[in-house]
Amino acid sequence: MKTHRMALLVVARQMTLETRQMLALAAGLTRQGHEVDLIVPQAHEELIEGLAHGVRLVELGVHTELTGVLALTRYLARHRPCVLLSSGLEANLNALKARRLDRWRVPVIAHHAVTPASELVAAGSKARGLRRRMALKYPHAALVLVESDEAGCQARHEGGIEAARVVTLPLAPDEETGALSEHQLMQCLSLMLSAAEVEGASPFSSQSWQVSSGKAASGLAQSSPSLDTSGVVSRQATSADTGASASLMSSASLQAELANSGARE
């Protein structure tokens, strides 16, 4: 089987449901032989301890949304993963904005570990602005993965994305092993390769990808490999790291594009 470079993005500064699911997914994809980058603004100790051997940790080293989007755009331009899967509303919006700035247009899969409504409620006074951004950005997602049909309905309503690109695929890892079942892993991998339009990937059909919690739980759970962080590479995805790249906009162009995008939002 041909291997691919894939990227996963979470922005939570602590261990959340999204982080645990992305750690489990990264471990599973690495077991399948793929090169996996787990991208975070800044790594914390619990996250580093949870990394499976072989997963590369990419720290953006940023503190604001603006610098985070710029750093993510540079990462995409230099490393060009075949697909970027982000988890959580903030991460999804940042990923979709970076995709717009990146000339390679890496396909983005937006994932929600909880319902979009609960994330909007948690945002408080920022909810109105987030709703506008969802309506602008989500139609550009290759797919939206959700944990339940209720979350899918909310994603379609708030994001203005057609039902054909919203997929119910629970990614809750096994409570004892912390790993995804083989069924969950292979379903998600197939969707990621399909979104990336990788040759030989199963064509995407929303009808065939609606997976209930019961089906996902019925898959054979695989134990996680020992959590050895000796193979993890932690680095800053800065302009010095990315160097000159023909596919990357200049810093001034990125700043201008972000300002124009912000005005439209």
Q: What is the pTM of this model?
A: 0.78
pLDDT of residue 260: 58
- 243 or 250: whose pLDDT is higher? 250
Helices (H), the chain: 17-31, 45-49, 65-79, 89-101, 116-123, 127-137, 149-159, 182-195, 213-218, 239-242, 251-264
pLDDT score recorded for residue 203: 58
- Return the half-sphere exposure (C-beta side, CA atoms, 13 A cut-off) of residue 7: 26
Binning pLDDT at 50, 70 and 90, where does residue 256 land?
Answer: low
Task: Tell me which of 141-145, 204-208, 230-234 is least confident.
Answer: 230-234
Per-residue confidence (pLDDT) for residue 14, from 0 to 100: 83
Find the domain containing 258 and state its range.
5-264
Instruction: Place 120 in a pLDDT band, splitting at 50, 70 and 90.
Output: very high
- Long-range contacts at 182-186 (CB < 8 A, ≥ 24 apart): 182/219, 182/220, 182/221, 182/222, 183/215, 183/216, 183/218, 183/219, 183/220, 184/28, 184/216, 184/219, 185/25, 185/28, 185/29, 185/32, 185/222
What is the count of structural domains for the chain? 1
pLDDT at position 247? 36
Question: Residue 220: pLDDT above 50?
Answer: no
Asked if residue 129 has pLDDT above 70, the reply is: yes
The amino acid that residue 81 corresponds to is P
| pLDDT for res 255 | 55
What's the pLDDT score for residue 2? 76
Tell me the CATH number at 111.
Answer: 3.40.50.2000
More confident residue, 166 or 206: 166
| pLDDT given at position 249 | 42
Q: Which of 8-22, 215-229, 246-260 has the highest mean pLDDT?
A: 8-22
Residue 204 has pLDDT above 50, yes or no: yes
Across the chain, mean pLDDT equals 81
| Structure confidence by residue, pLDDT tens digits, 94-119 | 999 999 998 878 999 999 999 999 99
Q: Note the pLDDT tens digit of each residue in 84-94.
A: 999 999 999 99
pLDDT at 192 over 60: yes
**In whole angstroms, what is the distance from residue 167 CA to residue 199 CA?**
21
pLDDT digits (tens, 9 = 90+) for 32-73: 999 999 999 989 899 999 999 999 999 998 778 889 999 999
Looking at the predicted structure, is the pLDDT value of residue 230 above 90? no
pLDDT at 168 over 60: yes
Note the pLDDT of residue 121. 96
